[in-house]
Structure 1
Amino acid sequence: MRVKKEEMKYVAQLAKLEFNEEEEKEVIEELDRMFKYMENLNELNTDGVNITINPYCMENKFREDNVEESMDIKEVLDNSPQNLKEYIVVPQVIE
């Protein structure tokens, strides 16, 4: 599978990444190598091999979910660096 420049640019845009021309070329080459390796894995004969979902025996180690009283809103707001009425003001992170 050959990665097209438009596809790489689209994925980079979704990930909010920017590349110059040289970096774009390197990223496309690296993606092509990864996809080629994945295609090689398709050639492996896996007939008769059991599916391994999780090789470790795991148990739920979470605590019991006990309902507790929430903190007082005034106490929470007193601990916040900046607030507006009943809301905590935080820096904008989305454009």
Structure 2
Amino acid sequence: MSEITREEVQHLAGLARIALTDDEVTSLTSELSKIVDAIAEVREVAGPDVPATSHPVPMANVMRDDEVGETLTREQVFAGAPSHDGERFRVSAILGEEQ
């Protein structure tokens, strides 16, 4: 059994900048020890002949070919715009005058 210490939990909390109460440190110490033990059990069962996986079933991306289709003209794009300069939409500044 791998024992996670209170000091290790407090150190990790400090690295993550998470404030923990004494009760939370106690609870997390126990929970993290159980997690480490569970991982150790899986390692015992999974030998070198078992490939590492991220999903229980094989996955593949289903993608279609990129094909150019009909596109809008600039006039059509800007037809509904409240303001534009013929090349870009005009919007009000959100970052202030310094931009």
How does the TM-score come out when normalised to structure 1? 0.58
Distance 1:44 1:36 in 2: 13
Count of aligned pairs? 76
**Superposition RMSD in Å:** 3.1
Give % identity.
18
Name the one with the larger strand percent: 1
Distance 1:45 1:15 in 2: 31
In the alignment, structure 1 residue 83 sits paired with structure 2 residue 96: yes
Q: Which residue of 2 aligns with 1:19?
A: 20
In the alignment, structure 1 residue 39 sits paired with structure 2 residue 40: yes
Larger Cα Rg: Structure 1 or Structure 2? 2
The one-letter amino acid paired with 1:36 is D
Q: Please state how far the C-alpha of 1:84 moved relative to its aligned partner.
A: 4.1
Gaps of 5+ in 2: 68-86
Distance 1:7 1:83 in 2: 46
How does the TM-score come out when normalised to structure 2? 0.56
Q: Which residue of 1 aligns with 2:59?
A: 56
Partner of 1:42: helix, strand, or coil? helix
